[in-house]
Structure 1
Amino acid sequence: MNAWIVMMLALTMPAAAMAEETEEAAPKVAYISLSPPLVGNYALDGGPKLRVYKADVALRVTGVEAAKAVKYNEPLIRNQLVALFSQQTVESLGNVDAKEKLRQEALKQTQQVLNDETGKPIVEDLLFNNLIVQ
């Protein structure tokens, strides 16, 4: 019985070692939060009511080099996103579908910024961890 256990352990050890090597070789997914959150005014139509947004944004990338490129270009990304948010209207931030369209447009513009700067879109997804509009 003991010989059988030793033999089984000997056969499973190489498989476990190979699995660890494969995990290390695969690029890891990272979520990069833009910190501090984006805060600003939107729907500047000259009306008496001041409208404010606060967006906690996270960007999903794969690999250490992609994460470094996003961090390096964060000021450009933030600028583009602030410009996008400030162009929004009450209707474009009023419901879930509209917020999803905004998220997709923010992803597209973020990818465009990185494509212009690095030659690759790099960011795979953009997530709103929190989006508050008043």
Structure 2
Amino acid sequence: MKAWIMLMLALSLPVAAQAEEAKEAKEGEAPKVSYISLSPPFVGNYGLDGTARLKVYKADVALRVTGEEAVKAVKAHEPLIRNQLVALFGQQTSEAMNNVDTKEKLRQEALKQTQQVMSDETGKPMVDDLLFNNLIIQ
């Protein structure tokens, strides 16, 4: 009986060692970077300054996140993120939407507001970057 127990212990040690090595390998790997496209694209009016001309934008936005936890959190809070971005885009002036430098400032502000939403909801910013895949204005 004693030999049987010793045999079972000896056979289980390599399995335990392999499991530990696999765990260490996963811990040593860099977290997976993912891009989440906010779909459908944002479409709305901007620069409502009292002129008769209707100004429209269409923005395809993607969020860069790191790790599976961040992907799940962003998808769970996507409606709140979309709401914040729609409000931000609607506040823009014609000058802000037509200038390359101000478009970059808009992108940075959109990232900041997205991170603020995630911080308020989860305690962490979660979003590493915000990208305009396409930004069309008329």
- C-alpha deviation, 1:46, in angstroms: 1.7
Q: Secondary structure at the match of 2:64?
A: strand
Matched with 1:79 is 83
Matched with 2:137 is 133
Kindly tell me the number of residue pairs found equivalent between the two proteins: 116
RMSD: 1.8
Q: In the alignment, residue 59 of structure 1 is paired with which amino acid?
A: L
- C-alpha deviation, 1:45, in angstroms: 1.2
Q: Secondary structure at the match of 2:126?
A: coil
Determine the C-alpha separation between the residues in 2 that align with 1:24 and 1:64: 16
Residue among 94, 98, 102 paired with 1:90? 94
Determine the C-alpha separation between the residues in 2 that align with 1:61 and 1:85: 22
**Whose radius of gyration is greater, 1 or 2?**
2
Structure 1 gap ranges (5+): 1-17
- C-alpha deviation, 1:26, in angstroms: 2.5
Matched with 1:8 is none
Matched with 2:59 is 55
- C-alpha deviation, 1:94, in angstroms: 1.2
- Is 1:46 matched up with 2:50? yes
Determine the C-alpha separation between the residues in 1 that align with 2:32 and 2:59: 25
Equivalences for residues 92-107 of structure 1 within 5 A: 92-107=96-111
Determine the C-alpha separation between the residues in 1 that align with 2:26 and 2:117: 32
Q: Secondary structure at the match of 1:26?
A: coil
Q: Secondary structure at the match of 1:124?
A: strand
CA gap 1:39/1:24 in 2 versus in 1, 3 angstroms: farther
TM-score (norm 1): 0.82
Determine the C-alpha separation between the residues in 2 that align with 1:95 and 1:132: 12
Structure 2 gap ranges (5+): 1-21
